[in-house]
Amino acid sequence: MRRVLSILTLLCGGVACGPGVDDNGQPPEMPSGLRPRRTDPTPSPYATVWKDFRPGPGAGYGQDQLPEVVFGPPAPSGDAAPSLDVLSLGAQGELVLGFGEVVIKDGPGPDLVIFENPFWVKGDRTQPYAELAEVQVSADGEQWHAFTCDRVGDGRGQFPGCAGWRPTSGFDPWAAPLDPGTSGGDAFDLAELGLEEARYVKLIDLDGDPESGPTAGFDLDAIGVVHH
């Protein structure tokens, strides 16, 4: 089952939760003394570089916590409720993150994992509360390669090639390597695109409803690298 309206709208009371980004899509400047809440090992296998954000209509949620809300590991809240530690992209919004010195490499099987905040509606694994995005990767931040996303789905709650439908599991986020089999989230394999490595990931919301602001569209929690 797909739902256009975001449950987070209820939690934000239908009003903007954050101060927003500037005209260039940049996050607000961090107040002095404010540090990211997470202590990441070096190098972190999660996104650490803020590259670009073009919020779509209905965005707003999470923007008061940029950029660290999308850095570091995911903050799973179980299969039955959404993580609130996310950034909503808005309808057709776009976000690009990087990984610094960490290069995503094509190893056996999946190479990166996208963590949105889907959950199983009433515990039914055929009914994820899915909000989909297309995933693109790039080695230089200029030339992009898109995974083919089946946004219609298979009718059993799976949307192959898309991000935003497989819940995050409770797992040790610093166990190396990151294992999509235990972490949950949506896994992607560079080999499907014929690529050996990538440095940037772009997410493009597919089905967000501008009327469901400030939580419209895909809600990013984290991006993790499996092979690097």
Task: Supply the minimum distance, in Å, between the C-beta of residue 87 and Ca ion.
Answer: 11
Q: By CB under 5 A, tell whether 111 contacts Ca ion.
A: yes
For 150, the token pair is: 């089946």
Binding of residue 106 to Ca ion (CB under 5 A): yes
Decide if residue 219 touches Ca ion (CB under 5 A): yes
What the block records as the tokens of 178 is 């990151």
CB 207 within 8 A of CB 93: no
Is the dihedral angle over the CA atoms 191, 195, 201, 206 positive or is it negative?
A: negative
Per rule CB under 5 A, is residue 168 in the interface with Ca ion? no
| 85: contact with Ca ion by CB under 5 A | no
- Report the distance separating Cα 220 and Cα 188, nearest Å: 16
d(Cα 183, Cα 200) in Å, to the nearest integer? Answer: 21
Q: Map residues 121-150 to x or -, x wherever contact with Ca ion holds by CB under 5 A.
A: ----------x-------------------
Number of residues that bind Ca ion (CB under 5 A): 7
* Binding of Ca ion by 192 (CB under 5 A): no
- For position 117 contacting Ca ion by CB under 5 A, the verdict is yes
CB 153 within 8 A of CB 166: no
What residues line the site for Ca ion (CB under 5 A)? 106, 111, 117, 131, 189, 191, 219
